[in-house]
Amino acid sequence: MANELLAKKVISLKLAQRIAVRRVLKEFAVLIPELVKARTILGGGLTGSLPNLKPSTIRNRTRYSTNLSSDTSPSESNLTGTGQLLNAIQAKVTEGKIVVTVNTKKRKNELSGAKGKLTNNEVRKYAEDAGFNFFDLTTDERQELIDLAEKIIIDEIKKVFST
């Protein structure tokens, strides 16, 4: 009798673990792009603040300020000229991993209002080559996610033993 009860608990525990891992992956696939976007809009890169904008970029953004995203200003360094790049960040769960990408569609418009010629992924690469490193999680963000994942998994396991 005790062995049967223990066997049922072990099966329940394994199921709870699978459920918790799937829940973590699903929730984090939504959360990670939002974390990257929010940090970047606030001007944060992977290792501190994003670099200052060049004077020519500020002049260009001032000239086309009516096309600027509401999340920025002409002199604010936050990779949010039109907002298209950050809004293109997406994540999905593939083979038990979260894969974060930038969609590869052509951009609708550039800051000047001209039809977009580049994809958001090309703009991301250009920005990173210019020193605007943003497309990943910081060490602190990774630790926060690890802590949250542990909490979710522990909560699911506790449910098994409370029944």
User: Using 50, 70 and 90 to split pLDDT, how confident is the model at 13?
Assistant: confident
Banded model confidence at residue 140, pLDDT cuts 50, 70, 90: very high
Confidence at residue 71, expressed as pLDDT on a 0 to 100 scale: 93
Q: Is 90 exposed, middle or buried (0-12, 13-18, 19+ CB in 10 A)?
A: middle
Distance CA 34, CA 91 (A): 10
pLDDT bin (cut points 50, 70, 90) of residue 59 is: very high
pLDDT at 105: 84
Please report, for the chain, how many H helices and E strands are present, in that order. Answer: 5, 2
Q: What are the domain boundaries of the chain? A: 2-162
pLDDT of 148 higher than 70 = yes
Q: How far apart are CA 153 and CA 141, in angstroms?
A: 18
d(CA 81, CA 78): 8
Predicted model pTM? 0.86
Say how many CA atoms lie within 13 Å of 27 toward its Cβ.
Answer: 12
Beta bridge partners of 44: 49
d(CA 145, CA 13): 22
Residue with tokens 């991301």: 124
Contact 39, 132 (CB under 8 A): no
Task: Judge whether 105 and 120 are in contact, CB under 8 Å.
Answer: yes
